[in-house]
């Protein structure tokens, strides 16, 4: 499978979950490369913003930023190799993230089977963008889907990112949470419209401020927390940004 490269190896690391309903939980992250969406504020742009691609990113205006050379940011490993790395951390909560992990669905099913064959109590989270429906085997294998459905603020065309039938299917699984990245008040209206169209349960919604620095988060977090309270939905901060900043491998 194609994983994000970090240094000389794969971007597989032991940390605390920084977002969503499991925030603060120790977990091993396995970051897959490649994505079918290309959000302008994405903080893992090394998984898709490759040389020769046409997509824009807000870092384009940062001096020295360039699209990534694939060989510099992708590493290939077998499910067996990934399983061995994951076992080494001694933590049985695993977050499959990306990029878009469902682009590697068959290989991830092999990985989860290998780990569960150890006879230990593994817990698998999958972070997905809500534009692809997992197959039945994946729905059964994943303990928790962290669905980050994209809004207009992502810069992604609506035809690519807005998939009501997928969101309904994930909601029906009973183990999905739906997290939305919020920048401005208008984003709340868009979320509520999507809830009306899809029937997403309000008690499974999580709203999170967009930002890669504490200052950016703080500009949104205060008013967004109040809106979450009034709407009766969960608020999520970005714990890893507050603890370690905009870094990879944390």
Q: Which two tokens mark 13? A: 């690391």
Question: How many Cα atoms within 13 Å fall on the side-chain side of residue 14?
Answer: 9
- Residue written as tokens 């008690």? 203
Other C-beta atoms lying within 10 Å of the C-beta of residue 153: 18
Helix (H, G, I), strand (E, B) or coil at 152: helix
**Sign (positive or negative) of CA dihedral 212, 214, 218, 221:** positive
**Contact predicate 48/35, CB 8 Å:** yes
pLDDT score recorded for residue 193: 97
CB-based contacts of 170, cutoff 8 Å, min separation 6: 130, 133, 134, 145, 147, 176, 178
DSSP E strands: which ranges in 34-155? 74-76, 93-97, 123-128, 144-147
Instruction: Give the per-residue pLDDT at 206.
Output: 98
* The predicted structure's pLDDT at residue 142: 98
Q: Which residues are annotated as a binding site for substrate?
A: 16-18, 31, 97
Please enumerate, by residue number, every residue annotated as part of a binding site.
16-18, 31, 35, 39, 41-44, 97, 99, 148-150
> For the chain, what are the domain ranges?
2-182
From residue 6, alpha-carbon distances to 31, 75, 125, 195, 225 in Å are 10, 9, 21, 37, 34
Task: Please give the pLDDT value at position 226.
Answer: 98
What is the rounded end-to-end Cα distance, in angstroms, of the chain? 22
* Annotated binding-site residue numbers for [4Fe-4S] cluster: 35, 39, 42
Q: Tell me the whole-structure pTM to 2 decimals.
A: 0.96
Whether residue 177 contacts residue 204, with contact meaning beta carbons closer than 8 Å, is answered with yes
Residue 10 structure tokens: 């794969």
Per-residue pLDDT of the chain (250 residues; tens, 9 = 90+): 999 999 999 999 999 999 999 999 999 999 999 999 999 999 999 999 999 999 999 999 999 999 999 999 999 999 999 999 999 999 999 999 999 999 999 999 999 999 999 998 999 999 999 999 999 999 999 999 999 999 999 999 999 999 999 999 999 999 999 999 999 999 999 999 999 999 999 999 999 999 999 999 999 999 999 999 999 999 999 999 999 999 999 9
Give, to the nearest 10 degrees, the angle between helix 79-87 and helix 105-116: 50
Tokens 């299917």 belong to: 169
Which residues belong to the annotated binding site for Mg(2+)?
44
The residue behind tokens 């290939």 is: 76
Sequence ranges of the binding site for S-adenosyl-L-methionine: 41-43, 99, 148-150
For the record, the structure tokens of 248 come out as 């990879």
How high is the pLDDT of residue 59? 93
Q: What is the pLDDT of residue 198?
A: 97
DSSP, collapsed to helix, strand or coil, labels residue 40 as coil
Contact 198, 172 (CB under 8 A): no
* Predicted local confidence at residue 110, as pLDDT: 98
**For residues 182 and 114, what is the distance between their CA atoms, to the nearest angstrom?**
37
- Tokens matching residue 148: 């980050």
How would CATH label the architecture of 2-182?
Answer: Alpha-Beta Barrel (3.20)
């Amino acid at each position: 499978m194609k994983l994000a490269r970090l240094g000389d190896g794969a971007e597989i690391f032991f940390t605390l979950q920084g977002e969503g309903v499991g925030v603060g939980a120790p977990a091993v992250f396995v970051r897959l490369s490649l994505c079918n969406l290309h959000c302008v504020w994405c903080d893992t742009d090394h998984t898709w913003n490759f040389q020769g691609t046409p997509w824009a990113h807000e870092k384009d205006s940062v001096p020295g930023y360039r699209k990534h050379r694939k060989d510099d940011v992708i590493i290939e490993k077998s499910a067996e190799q990934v399983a061995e790395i994951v076992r080494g951390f001694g933590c049985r909560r695993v977050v499959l993230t990306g990029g878009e992990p469902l682009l590697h669905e068959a290989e991830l099913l092999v990985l989860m089977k290998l780990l569960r064959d150890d006879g230990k109590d593994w817990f698998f989270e999958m972070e997905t963008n809500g534009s692809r429906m997992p197959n039945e085997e994946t729905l059964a294998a994943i303990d928790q889907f962290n669905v980050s459905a994209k809004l207009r603020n992502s810069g992604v065309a609506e035809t690519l990112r807005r998939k009501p039938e997928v969101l309904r299917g994930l909601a029906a699984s009973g183990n999905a949470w739906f997290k939305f990245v919020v920048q401005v008040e208008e984003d709340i209206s868009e979320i509520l419209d999507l809830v009306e169209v899809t029937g997403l349960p309000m008690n499974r919604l999580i709203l999170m401020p967009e930002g890669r620095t504490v200052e950016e988060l703080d500009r949104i977090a205060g008013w967004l927390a109040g809106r979450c309270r009034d709407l009766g939905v969960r608020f999520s901060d970005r714990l890893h940004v507050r603890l370690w900043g905009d870094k990879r491998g944390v």
